Chains A and B, each alone.
Chain A
């Protein structure tokens, strides 16, 4: 495993730790999109169906279990925890899941590496992950106050896929890996979706101002 891949996984893990900290310690999920979190559960469940069938490494299995467990528990807290659920911005989190899930599923049926259940689900998970942040970004844009934890959470989540892009470049040129258009292009799209957010995040950080996205 190269350093970019590890950095990607660690920023991903850190983003989840940050979000869980906000939920468990501050008892708040203000500014967090339940829609996006539910999409991540679907992403992990469909991508890691091979967990019980194929073993890659201890690291790989543990990380999969952590991502599955934490994403499900985040959704549980936001939906059912008696204090946390009251901080959820239900009225502004109105992005419809189906508008993302359905096109991604159709695309995965049409464009995939092999027409098998595992491959189609895996491809679907990549397409869906690429756009799963959209409800969260819409929610941030509608929020007057974005707290630091939420801003940092979204930033780390974006940084994660950016590191993966570097990892794929490294694997292609240094480790002589094959061309893999499906993860590369969906990963590129996923990172590009954050471009606007990155711009305002870095700007607010440089000027030591509170993060605010223009409506």
Chain B
């Protein structure tokens, strides 16, 4: 799995 950063969502 890669970066998977959900903080980049709104």
Contacts and interface: CB of A to CB of B under 8 A. Distances in A.
Interface of A: 5, 9, 12, 50, 54, 56-57, 60, 63-64, 67, 122, 164, 167, 171, 175-180, 183
Contact of A177 (B2, B7, B10): B2
B3 to A, nearest CB: 7
24 contacts: A5-B9, A12-B10, A50-B7, A56-B7, A56-B8, A57-B8, A60-B8, A64-B10, A67-B10, A122-B7, A164-B9, A167-B9, A171-B4, A175-B2, A176-B2, A177-B1, A177-B2, A177-B3, A178-B1, A178-B2, A178-B4, A180-B4, A180-B6, A183-B9
Interface of B: 1-4, 6-10
Nearest to A183: B6
Contacts of A178: 1-2, 4
Contacts, number: 32
Contact of B7 (A9, A12, A54, A176): A54
Contacts of A5: 9
Contacts of A60: 8, 10
Given A64-B10, A180-B4, 8 more contacts: A5-B9, A9-B10, A12-B10, A60-B8, A122-B7, A176-B2, A178-B2, A180-B6
Contacts of A63: 10
Contacts of A171: 4
